[in-house]
Amino acid sequence: KEVLIATKNPGKAREFEALFSPLDITVKTLLDYPEVGDVEETGTTFEENAILKAEAIAKQFQVLTIADDSGLIIDALNGEPGVYSARYAGTEKNDEKNIDKVLKNLLGVPFSQRTARFHCTLAICKPDEEAITVTGKCEGLILTQRMGDEGFGYDPIFWIRDQKRTLAQMSREEKGAISHRGQAIHKLTQLLPEIVN
């Protein structure tokens, strides 16, 4: 049994590999296929973009495919960066510049009003079939400076109240146990036996 994770984001790819490792499934990602071009994310929701990516790659590779569309929703910024999280600071994907832009836009906003959540929609698609989606969320607060250097993306500024630390101060296993992606993968693995067979 094999599944292709339709991502080129190395941070996401590592988390998928870790969270799928207990399962009897071979996991590949698009990092194994550098020649494959990006699927254009023309949707306006996580759901639409996850489906676009999963269906295009399943069609191209003729293999069971999972795509992840995710992002950070900050209440004080009216939901920004949202579906534009990967390119918030410009046309290139740049985690450091994205964090700098969030910190700048939140200057002066008190901690109690810096509420935010990560959202993850996963779409799973068999070749030439319609995708099925699941979602996961993770609540937190945006700090005024970075803490920790694990993880990827906005993890260093995403504070988990119960844990008294950021997602970037957790191991991959610890993050996976509470993260938006971990929760969505958990839901997906419960559907997987039906889908794979």
Q: Which residues are annotated as a binding site for Mg(2+)?
A: 40, 69
* Contact status: 69 vs Na ion (CB under 5 A): yes
In angstroms, give the least distance from the CB of 128 to ligand ITT.
Answer: 22
Q: Judged by CB under 5 A, does residue 68 bind Na ion?
A: no
55 is a contact residue toward ligand ITT (CB under 6 A): no
For the bound state, the minimum distance from the C-beta of residue 85 to Na ion, rounded and expressed in Å, comes to 7
Note whether 16 binds ligand ITT by CB under 6 A.
no
7 binds, among Na ion, ligand ITT, none (CB under 5 to 8 A by kind): ligand ITT
Catalytic residue among 69, 75, 149, 162: 69
Given candidates 3, 4, 12, 106, which one binds ligand ITT under the rule CB under 6 A? Answer: 12
Known catalytic residue at 69: yes
Give the number of other CB atoms < 10 A from CB of residue 178. 17
Q: How far is CA 59 from the centre of its chain?
A: 22
How far apart, in Å, are the Cα atoms of 193 and each of 30, 75, 111? 23, 37, 43
**Of the candidate residues 27, 28, 70, 125, the single one contacting ligand ITT (CB under 6 A):** 70
Measure the CA–CA gap between 167 and 179, rounded to whole angstroms.
8
Residue 153: name its binding partner from Na ion, ligand ITT, none (Cβ under 5 to 8 Å by kind): ligand ITT
Question: How many beta carbons lie within 10 A of that of residue 35, not counting itself?
Answer: 5
Contacts of 37 (CB under 8 A, 6+ apart): none
Q: Is residue 118 within 8 Å of residue 141, measured between CB atoms?
A: no
Known binding positions: 7-12, 40, 69-70, 152-155, 175, 180-181
As separate numbers, helices (DSSP H) first and strands (DSSP E) second, the chain gives 5, 7
Torsion on CA atoms 13, 14, 16, 21, rounded to nearest 10: 140
CB-nearer residue toward Na ion: 41 or 155: 41
Name the minimum Å distance from CB 108 to ligand ITT. 23
What are residue 102's phi and psi, to 5 degrees?
-60, -50
Q: Which residues make up the interface to ligand ITT (CB under 6 A)?
A: 7-9, 12, 41, 68-72, 85-86, 93, 95, 98, 118, 151-155, 179, 181
Could you give the residue numbers annotated as active site? 69
